[in-house]
Amino acid sequence: MLRKYQPKAFGVVGLMTVLAALAISGTFAAGAWAEGGPVWLVKGAILGGGAKETFTSSGGVFKLDGTTNIECKKEKDTGEIIGTNPGLDLATIAFEECFVEGKPTCLAGNVTAELIEVEVQSLLVYLHEKPETTEHAYDAFFPDNSETTNNLFVEFTLTGGISACGLLNGVKVTVNATGSLVTFDGINKKCGVLAEAGHLNGLSEFILSEAGQEFAAGALNSTGEPELATMWNPETKIFELLTCKLEAFGGVALQLGISDITLVSGLSFGWEL
């Protein structure tokens, strides 16, 4: 079922006046977007007009699965969600205590020997071929670097000596986004990762969220699947196919892990059509 906004018949001038006032305030009643989405929802109102909410996030084990697997015991990040259509967010992610899977003293890092830091930008998108449905949503991740032609997600080095790493010692690993190129909202990058939008229940189990639901703590689940989604392009005003893929160690790679997300303001939040 589609849940699209139907304006009341109080005239074009009246409608434009109301919409202008709402745009200035940066919030809209839930369901107020006429097309596109998904958009961020904060305390019962759509985050619009470029308004921002700062968040913090943390997670347990994250993995980069590929030809060689990298495991990180913890994840933390800070950033902000932004009131655009579709909803945007920016974040700095720190993966801590990272090492080559099966070689716990062969460390992976780009800040310290076992700390990997990543700058990302992400976009709310719909399930593949299911635009404007209440079912579920994804957060699509893109590299966030200043080089317009560079789709490098992150680069890090493996260290620990020959005894710990073998032939991997000193290897510099590059992780690149190889999915669809997105050129609106200043992104200008290829998509690398799709994460399911949801929340954690009392048992710390990930639960998918639906449109209009709000939680004090949300969560993102990077499962490695699927690779396809449906994205609203605000420039062309049409829904487009979005593919998200990573490459590392000369082959396909997957990011796996769950992180919880809390707004610094303490407000409940979610997503809406």
The tens digit of pLDDT for each residue in 126-177 reads: 999 999 888 899 999 999 976 656 899 999 999 999 999 999 999 999 999 9
- Which pLDDT score is estimated for 26? 45
Strand partners, 88: 82, 123
pLDDT tier at 17, thresholds 50, 70, 90? very low
* pTM of the entire predicted model: 0.86
The tens digit of pLDDT for each residue in 27-45 reads: 444 454 558 999 999 999 9
Domain ranges of the chain: 12-272
For residue 109 the two structure tokens come to 């890092």
Given CA atoms 91, 192, 236, 9 in this order, what sign does their dihedral have? negative
Other beta carbons less than 10 A from residue 56's beta carbon: 14
What average pLDDT does the segment 98-122 reach? 97
- Which pLDDT score is estimated for 148? 56
- Which pLDDT score is estimated for 34? 57
Given CA atoms 81, 41, 205, 68 in this order, what sign does their dihedral have? negative
- Which pLDDT score is estimated for 133? 86
CA dihedral 224, 226, 232, 233 (to 10 degrees): 70
- Asked whether residue 69 carries a pLDDT value surpassing 50, the answer given is yes
